[in-house]
Chain A
Amino acid sequence: MPIREILLLAYEALMSNKLRAGLTMLGMIIGVGAVVLLVSIGNGAKNYITSEFEGLGSNLIMIQPGKTDSKGTMGPPMGNSKKKLSLADLEALERQSFNLDAITGLMFGTAAVTRTEATSNVTLLGVNDQFIKIFNIKVGLGQFISREEDDSARRVAVLGNKTALNLFGDEAPIGQWVKINQSEHRVIGVLAASGQTLGFNMDDMVMIPTRTAMRLLNDDKLFGLRAKAKSKVGIDDAVDEIKAILKKRQNGEENFTVTTQLSMLQSMNTILGMLTFVLGGIAMISMIVGGIGIMNIMLVSVTERTREIGIRRAVGARRVDVLKQFLFEAITLSMIGGTLGLGGSTLLTYAVYWFVPSFDMRAPIWVLAPAFLMSLLTGVIFGVFPARKASKIETIEALRYE
């Protein structure tokens, strides 16, 4: 039987019962639509995280005390370790490395920041002048901590945008004094508003020089180090260099972990990629339901058209011709449904992107081929049983069928 005829037959069969065909397709529309939507959301989340990471500074290197065994974990270990990093380590890296553009020691804690009666409990960071360079942070008012202020452990503070607003309202904060854990600090700058970045709110914090923070927190070891490689391609060299320098200082032992922003991004992407597939897989259940709908309707159709099958066989249709006819009908149902589902869900993702441009969940192009293939497969898998049933009907019985 020519393919043109098979397609025509499938078309006619669907047109002869539009409502039924439409409802059957709805199952496929929802199935494929759900797969595409969930994959798009997963993919959008991945893109979002990637851009957020890149906003942090693409050449970022994190050095934490303690050694983690596994490679490519989510980030530096946060736990305590006997061997901590010190200011001397920072100075050594500053002096000896060629591949680093900037490096800062990092102190980390929480602090109660008080001005007269207004108090704010915020994250406290102890950093040096290089910090804003490493993390691409902009100062909105005044200036950032200087080298000199860090070296001599001055009691100065740079406030996050929101913290400044909480404490000072409409007043100008620069030059004013605040109490950080009972110790007076002079406000020298306020960061520009930046909003939430990966759950870390730069707007709600206070920054003071590293040495000041060590005194305030009564700790002579650093929480960690943060550095910026000179270039993205040179980041591996920078990592090797850091390891070599620190190892030498620790008698050949490697009691620290160096992580790059890039490797964190990679492991993050792996997890999100997996999540996307899991979501897509769950959505595929609805496609199976759509397929069962097709099978159900095809079985009804085969029974209804028993006499037609008999007539076709009587004039020379082979069993395989009958099989093809019904299989193609099922495939047509699933493909049209799948295409509509794909189109509809793609439009939906574009609409969401149009309204919420910050979250780009537009359906990725690579979803096209699998969506089509899955529609086709659903049609084949769930169409083959009814089609085989149709082809097995005996001619003479079919002709007698009322």
Chain B
Amino acid sequence: MALIEVNNVTRHFKMGDETVRALDGVQLSIDEGELVAIIGPSGCGKSTMMNFLGILDVPDSGEYLLDGKDTKKMSDDERALYRNQKLGFVFQSFHLLPRMTALRNVELPLVYSASYDKTHSLSKMKEMAISAMQRVGLGDRLEHQPNELSGGQRQRVAIARALVNNPKLLLADEPTGNLDSKAGKEIIQLFQDLNRQGATVIMVTHDPEIAQRAGRVIAFKDGKVVEDRANS
């Protein structure tokens, strides 16, 4: 069974008289364990698609089955639970909490996990967060606040936050956009490792080299899937 099953999904934004068709009849199926790259020109609807895959946004029409479950029928709390336990999301604009150290930013999903898992101890939470920070190469920046970090470092904190709960589905919106090619490669290596360990990874990228390392590339244009190919 496919992990993600998207059927004829549309998402339109009304801007005055004009309607922006950010998603315009998207048909997609992604299996568990895939490593997928989404490419396409700016403004073609990639971020809109990712928000929607991360059950942060709801489509105007169409159907989205996640893990065999109709997301429309999920309650608000169920969505929160799924996002917390099974999903890691790297936002294009990072979305870190200011005035909070990198470590506490990374701990954030675990704080809410404690509502579901009473065995979450403070020391275990900290341990998991430190380990995630080390995996993105920021073991020495734990106590820095976002405004004391470089753009690339912030991006990596955002990635560490997405990884901290060992998600089965990792959604990354241009995770290497602010990184030099060396750091970018390290991140892709990390994603590939996670993928080998069983996680499904979907990432948006503008970098053809990175797209090349994904098992499958989906190209968007004007809110539509225009190409869907497997890399050899």
A residues apposed to B, CB below 8 Å: 1-2, 4-5, 12, 16, 307-308, 310-321, 395-396, 399
5 interchain residue pairs of minimum CB distance: A316-B84, A316-B112, A315-B109, A396-B57, A318-B80
Return chain B residues, CB-CB under 8 Å to A16.
99
When C-beta atoms are compared, the residue in chain A nearest to B112 turns out to be A316
Report yes or no: B95 in contact with A395, Cβ–Cβ below 8 A.
Answer: no
Report yes or no: B84 in contact with A2, Cβ–Cβ below 8 A.
Answer: no
Report yes or no: A319 in contact with B76, Cβ–Cβ below 8 A.
Answer: yes
Report yes or no: B56 in contact with A315, Cβ–Cβ below 8 A.
Answer: no
Report yes or no: A315 in contact with B83, Cβ–Cβ below 8 A.
Answer: yes
Return chain A residues, CB-CB under 8 Å to B84.
315-317
B residues apposed to A, CB below 8 Å: 51, 54, 56-57, 76-77, 80-81, 83-85, 89, 91, 95-97, 99-100, 108-109, 111-115, 122, 161
Query: Helix, strand, loop or mixed for chain B's interface?
Result: helix
Report yes or no: A316 in contact with B80, Cβ–Cβ below 8 A.
Answer: yes
Report yes or no: A318 in contact with B76, Cβ–Cβ below 8 A.
Answer: yes
Compute the total of residue contacts between A and B using a CB distance below 8 Å.
66
Which of A16, A307, A314 has the most C-beta atoms of chain B within 10 angstroms of its own C-beta? Answer: A314
Query: CA separation between A314 and B57, bound complex, in Å?
Result: 10
Report yes or no: B115 in contact with A318, Cβ–Cβ below 8 A.
Answer: yes
The contact of A2 among B80, B95, B114, by CB within 8 Å, is B114
Report yes or no: B99 in contact with A316, Cβ–Cβ below 8 A.
Answer: no
Q: A80 to chain B: closest CB distance in Å?
A: 79
Query: Helix, strand, loop or mixed for chain A's interface?
Result: helix
Return chain B residues, CB-CB under 8 Å to A399.
56, 91, 95
Return chain A residues, CB-CB under 8 Å to B51.
396
Query: CA separation between A142 and B134, bound complex, in Å?
Result: 99
Report yes or no: A1 in contact with B76, Cβ–Cβ below 8 A.
Answer: no
Q: List 6 A-B contacts (CB under 8 A).
A: A310-B95, A314-B91, A316-B112, A318-B76, A318-B77, A396-B56
Report yes or no: A315 in contact with B76, Cβ–Cβ below 8 A.
Answer: no
The contact of B83 among A12, A314, A321, by CB within 8 Å, is A314
Return chain A residues, CB-CB under 8 Å to B111.
1-2, 5
Q: A2-B111, A315-B108, A399-B95 are known contacts; what are 6 more A-B pairs with Cβ within 8 Å? A: A12-B100, A311-B108, A314-B95, A315-B83, A315-B161, A316-B84
Report yes or no: B95 in contact with A317, Cβ–Cβ below 8 A.
Answer: no
Query: CA separation between A241 and B229, bound complex, in Å?
Result: 112
Return chain B residues, CB-CB under 8 Å to A2.
111, 114
Report yes or no: A316 in contact with B83, Cβ–Cβ below 8 A.
Answer: yes
Report yes or no: A311 in contact with B97, Cβ–Cβ below 8 A.
Answer: yes
